[in-house]
Structure 1
Amino acid sequence: MSQITFPEFEYKRPDLDQLENAFQAVLVELRDAETVNDAIAAVEQIDSIRASVATAYNIGYIRYSINTRDSFYREEKDWFDTNLPRTEQWRVDYYRALLDNPHREALQKHFGDQLFDSARVSINTFRPEILEELQAVNKLSSEFTQMRGGAEIEIDGKTYNLSSIAPLEQVPDREKRKAASTAKWNWYAEHRERMENIYGEMVQLRTTMARKLDYENYVGLGYANMNRTDYGPEEVANFRRQVREHIVPIAQQLYEQQRERIGVDRLRYYDLSFRFPDGNPTPKGDPAAIVAHAEKMYQELSPETGTFFRILQDQKLMDLEAKDGKAPGGYCTYINEYQTPYIFSNFNGTSHDIDVLTHEFGHAFQVYSSRNQRPMEYNWPTFDAAEIHSMSMEFFTYPWMEGFFKGDTGKYYFSHLASAFRFLPYGCAVDEFQHRVYENPDLGNAGRNAIWKEMEAAYLPHLDYSDNDHLKDGTFWQSQGHVFNVPFYYIDYCLAQICAFQFLLRDEQDHTSAWADYVKLCKAGGSKSFLELVKLAGLENPFEDGVVKKIADRVRERLDA
């Protein structure tokens, strides 16, 4: 691993013409390989070419998202939006060469089944006929990101963005948090027409791509793009049913307890983020103090995590604080040629600062642990498995929370676990919403909003928007970036949460065993499918009937305690 810092990482726009010529030459070598060793060498060369493009993209994207107003990296992001889709043809050609290779059996034995299962699923996700649609979706996605990154919300003479306004929505004074929440949603209301139209255009473009690739609608193409090799919409629908039956009723009890706890007659939308009458748990210390305690925490958790957190600090591989012009949200990405992850977040003084630090560290620790996996497809698992690492890390770090929260620690434990539990219905609502939208792509804006209102009635019946005309119209989904930018990436969090709950319960019984299985899972990267990784980690399959109920009952017992 390189020891230079991220600001020193070289960014150079890739010469796609030159790289494509090199790629095609190696592809010929792969197809015509006389021996399996020749074929393996060709795969490794292809990996190297693809990694160089991914490296440039990720360095540029990180610097762009740190400051969406930076004209240079904004132009580079626009360039990638237009030009990166052409590399999809490289990937499809490569996968065909693998699947049709005369040495396929030996290659499969060398690299494992997952590469070939992924190739089979991905083989029909691109043809040159959909290039223009991909480019158009990318541009719309960037417009959406820039719109949210540039949000300016004025309250009492001060200007906030979508990240920094969050603490104001959690203050004990109900009128003040109502004012903050109303101001935020007024910003969404002002941009509603454009946001709805962006999404409507995206739905049409994705539907057009799906039909050009001979799918009935975008659902099948969306699942293929998510590389889901061992389950489909039927299994997901059954999982959502179990959440409705076994999770939603308990979640509603938690909301009712919250209403009683904070002393309001009805739990309105601006009350949801306020959990305790004397205020929410908040980190005690500035960002530097948070990072200092995180270093202590990871040194004590395990030798591997201690060494790794030091690397993140020394190489400046984190940008954690909210700033004007910074894209909202948090993520972890991977810079292939430097073999380094990067953590991006927006600290705003709420408990979410700690959640995102542990969550994204889980992603980063996983990809660092599997950085030497080959081919590059195996550095990351699919999103569903990847979220197990992140969500489980939130639980593995529980013993160190007192260092962050001091007297608020007890409130944090309850709030964090209850929030993880209450997330499941929301995550399923987002997922079913997307299925319904792409199964009915011609509905229009009002039709899509009507679907969201149905989802709220089924999964989130506690919601009360009676004094907000914007949210009453079924528009809350417009604040969920995944819906726009990564279709069908959301049920992954729900599946992973059921797995992470299992790690929590196991960790309490036998930390050594649970941690060993977690590290084993991280090192496996993406070398196996989702359900194979679940089995490898000694976890129960969340799709199996009865598993959701069993986990829900055990977590409920813990919350009651």
Structure 2
Amino acid sequence: MNFNEVPYTRPDAEAVMAQVRQGAADLQAAKDGDAAVAVANRVTDLLNDTMSQSMYTEIRHTVDTRDAFYAQENEFWNEFQPQLANAEVDYLKAVLASPFREALETVYPKPYFLKAEDQMKTNKPEVVALQQKANALSSEYTKLIASAQLDFNGQTYTLAQIGPLRDDADRATRKAANDAYWGFFAAHEAEFDRIYDEMVKTRTEIARKLGFKDFAEMSYVFMDRFDYDEDMVATYRHEVQTKVVPLVQAQRAKQAKRLGLDHLAYYDLGVQFKSGNATPEGTADELVEAARQMYHEMSPESGAFFDHMVQSNLLELLAKPGKASGGYATFIPAIESPFIFANFNGTSDDVDVLTHEAGHAFQTYLAQWIRPGDCVFPTFEAAEIFSMSMEFIAYPWMQSFFGTQTPKYKYAHLQAALEFLPYGILVDHFQHQVYTHPDWTPAARKAEWRRLEKLYNPDKDFSDNADLERGIWWMRQGHIFEAPFYYIDYTIAQVVAYQFWKRFNVDHDETAWQDYMTMAKAGGSKTLLELIALGHLRSPFEAGALDDTLTAVKAQLDSVDDSQL
């Protein structure tokens, strides 16, 4: 299979919705379990194929947002997806009401039924037009980010391409590169403000029409947060603020000392060592070959997986003009394959992609036995366990990517994971504040971001940049625009992934890989806490779980003489 040759066909929207509604009627009329299963299989095949066509569009549109054909198809899907979700509601009602639940469970895993209940609460005809508007606004943000052309030192860069210069070992260079990067956001601040203001108002209207107090309350339903609630998250936020933030500040003091600085400016935070950060050695092709060797040595299953990704052209890795920012992994049911999208730019992030996004992809590769395509991945926070854990599982092979710089990479990576926890909480807390105060002006939102930033990231000194001091940092965080409330998931997963880090790299636990594989194969057939139990891990919401994790990480960082790196 060559992904580049996989054909895309726009579905007949009315015909697809009619078939889904017919499925609902046929399921209600089913006389026995066999008849119910036949209907379920038919509808699942239809939705899997339809979902796959949507994914072909998303992938090809994000690879080149300037492609007129896929830009047009993206607009079609922005309109059609809310309509299809609404059409699915009748079918989901029939599934939940079916007297043949036991038979249907041979097709649908337990979380499918839980998701069905949530989808019925978040999809109604009266909000379809609003959902379409939210989708269009999200696409507008994507295009705005992708349009960035930064003139710097006589060359033109995208936001991703200028990344290495923002962390350059030369302080003057990195300050100037950061000025260019943030200058784009400042120059387009009014556009970002308008897009987000419309998003907040649109999403708030959706929530209220669906009977929720606000969009923040609704988020626990549309994000399928089955195993925890807002009170547990509030406690978790407090734990991070009081226990992790002080550890990060201690690490920042060590970083400043390594760099020979009295204090760190915001443009210094990404530079860990005076000699510069660890950078991968080799071309993109050589990094992919190193990854192939790593996954073959890791296990037969991971080796076969990565061969499939390379041979089938399922890796889109290089940063280039017109390409959407960031990285992602997705699973395409029609071809039973994952796909990885990234923006290689010559930094350690390139290797992180080959572990993080490959962790996602490997999990779906193992879980492709699950029939409904949207259940191959588990829920968001559970899905991130596999990607973040894979970053740590890959530690023994980092020599192949970084050579003599490997100790620098491992130290910086472990510290970065620690630093990420407060930032991830900040993004979630900010969104909670915004959507519980939907009438705030853009200026009020930026002021709130800066207030929370000082709480969770007090190490950020913006005295050299009035725009960041005013609170525009969040505008570069695509999740806030495109995937609201999808962020605390990373922090929950990080705490769990640290447990795998300890089992693989400190305890050398021989059962760790099998536990990881067992969890990955289970995928979306289990809820978050069920997966954690399956892997013999502790819940991040459990008393003491965070303490144990932080103790182990601090001990590891303190054991390294960072002045020698």
TM (normalized to structure 2)?
0.97
Q: Does 1:396 align with 2:410?
A: no
Q: Distance in 2 between matches of 1:127 and 1:247?
A: 41
Offset from partner CA, 1:117-153 (integer Å, 9 cap, x none): 2222222101111111111111111110011111001
Q: Distance in 2 between matches of 1:113 and 1:526?
A: 9
Query: Which residue number corresponds to residue 453 of structure 2?
Result: 456
Query: Which residue number corresponds to residue 536 of structure 1?
Result: 534
Q: Does 1:215 align with 2:212?
A: yes
Query: Which residue number corresponds to residue 15 of structure 1?
Result: 12
Q: Tell me how many residue pairs correspond in the alignment.
A: 558
Q: Structure 2: 5+ residue runs without aligned partners?
A: 560-565
Q: Distance in 2 between matches of 1:157 and 1:234?
A: 52
Residues 242 and 549 in structure 1, CA contact (< 8 A), matched pair in contact too: no
Report the alpha carbon displacement of residue 106 of structure 1 after superposing the two structures with TM. Answer: 4.6
Residues 44 and 375 in structure 1, CA contact (< 8 A), matched pair in contact too: no
3-state SS in 2 of match to 1:341: strand
Query: Which residue number corresponds to residue 339 of structure 2?
Result: 342
Q: Does 1:5 align with 2:2?
A: yes
Equivalent position amino acid for 2:41 in 1: E
- More off after superposition, 80-89 vs 185-194: 80-89
3-state SS in 2 of match to 1:461: coil
Residues 319 and 344 in structure 1, CA contact (< 8 A), matched pair in contact too: yes
Offset from partner CA, 1:190-226 (integer Å, 9 cap, x none): 0111101111110100000000000000012222111
Query: Which residue number corresponds to residue 33 of structure 1?
Result: 30
Q: Among residues 96, 99, 102, which one is paired with 2:99 in the alignment?
A: 102
Q: Among residues 385, 403, 407, which one is paired with 1:406 in the alignment?
A: 403
Query: Which residue number corresponds to residue 123 of structure 2?
Result: 126
Report the alpha carbon displacement of residue 532 of structure 1 after superposing the two structures with TM. Answer: 1.1
Q: Does 1:548 align with 2:553?
A: no
Residues 121 and 229 in structure 1, CA contact (< 8 A), matched pair in contact too: no
Query: Which residue number corresponds to residue 266 of structure 1?
Result: 263
Report the alpha carbon displacement of residue 511 of structure 1 after superposing the two structures with TM. Answer: 4.2
Query: Which residue number corresponds to residue 154 of structure 2?
Result: 157
Report the alpha carbon displacement of residue 109 of structure 1 after superposing the two structures with TM. Answer: 7.3
Task: Report sequence identity in percent.
Answer: 42
Q: Distance in 2 between matches of 1:415 and 1:495?
A: 20
Q: Structure 1: 5+ residue runs without aligned partners?
A: none
Q: Distance in 1 between matches of 2:47 and 2:236?
A: 36
Q: Does 1:384 align with 2:381?
A: yes
Residues 44 and 372 in structure 2, CA contact (< 8 A), matched pair in contact too: yes
Offset from partner CA, 1:33-66 (integer Å, 9 cap, x none): 1111211221111111111111111011111111
Report the alpha carbon displacement of residue 263 of structure 1 after superposing the two structures with TM. Answer: 1.2
3-state SS in 2 of match to 1:512: coil
Equivalent position amino acid for 1:331 in 2: Y
Report the alpha carbon displacement of residue 496 of structure 1 after superposing the two structures with TM. Answer: 0.2
Q: Distance in 2 between matches of 1:244 and 1:309?
A: 38
Report the alpha carbon displacement of residue 91 of structure 1 after superposing the two structures with TM. Answer: 2.6
Give the alignment of 1:309-388 within 5 angstroms: 309-388=306-385
Q: Does 1:437 align with 2:434?
A: yes
Offset from partner CA, 1:410-451 (integer Å, 9 cap, x none): 000000010011100000000000111111110110111111
3-state SS in 2 of match to 1:124: helix
Give the alignment of 1:70-89 within 5 angstroms: 70-89=67-86
Q: Distance in 2 between matches of 1:10 and 1:108?
A: 32
Give the alignment of 1:118-267 within 5 angstroms: 118-267=115-264
Residues 40 and 104 in structure 2, CA contact (< 8 A), matched pair in contact too: no
Query: Which residue number corresponds to residue 428 of structure 1?
Result: 425
Offset from partner CA, 1:475-502 (integer Å, 9 cap, x none): 1111100000111100000000001000
- More off after superposition, 319-328 vs 217-226: 217-226
Q: Distance in 1 between matches of 2:89 and 2:250?
A: 49
Query: Which residue number corresponds to residue 562 of structure 2?
Result: none
Q: Distance in 1 between matches of 2:51 and 2:375?
A: 14
Equivalent position amino acid for 2:540 in 1: P
Equivalent position amino acid for 2:555 in 1: E
3-state SS in 2 of match to 1:408: helix
Residues 219 and 435 in structure 1, CA contact (< 8 A), matched pair in contact too: yes
Q: Distance in 2 between matches of 1:167 and 1:114?
A: 41
Offset from partner CA, 1:493-527 (integer Å, 9 cap, x none): 00000010001111132343000000001100101
Report the alpha carbon displacement of residue 19 of structure 1 after superposing the two structures with TM. Answer: 1.3
Q: Among residues 301, 304, 313, which one is paired with 1:307 in the alignment?
A: 304
TM (normalized to structure 1)?
0.98
Equivalent position amino acid for 2:172 in 1: E
Equivalent position amino acid for 2:535 in 1: A
3-state SS in 2 of match to 1:334: strand
Report the alpha carbon displacement of residue 108 of structure 1 after superposing the two structures with TM. Answer: 4.4
Residues 40 and 107 in structure 2, CA contact (< 8 A), matched pair in contact too: no
Q: Distance in 2 between matches of 1:353 and 1:29?
A: 49
Q: Among residues 512, 519, 522, which one is paired with 2:520 in the alignment?
A: 522
Q: Among residues 250, 262, 285, which one is paired with 2:282 in the alignment?
A: 285
3-state SS in 1 of match to 2:381: helix
Equivalent position amino acid for 2:353 in 1: V
3-state SS in 2 of match to 1:332: strand
Q: Distance in 2 between matches of 1:394 and 1:176?
A: 29
Offset from partner CA, 1:284-332 (integer Å, 9 cap, x none): 1111110111111010000001011000011000011111111111000
Residues 48 and 372 in structure 2, CA contact (< 8 A), matched pair in contact too: no
Residues 367 and 379 in structure 1, CA contact (< 8 A), matched pair in contact too: yes
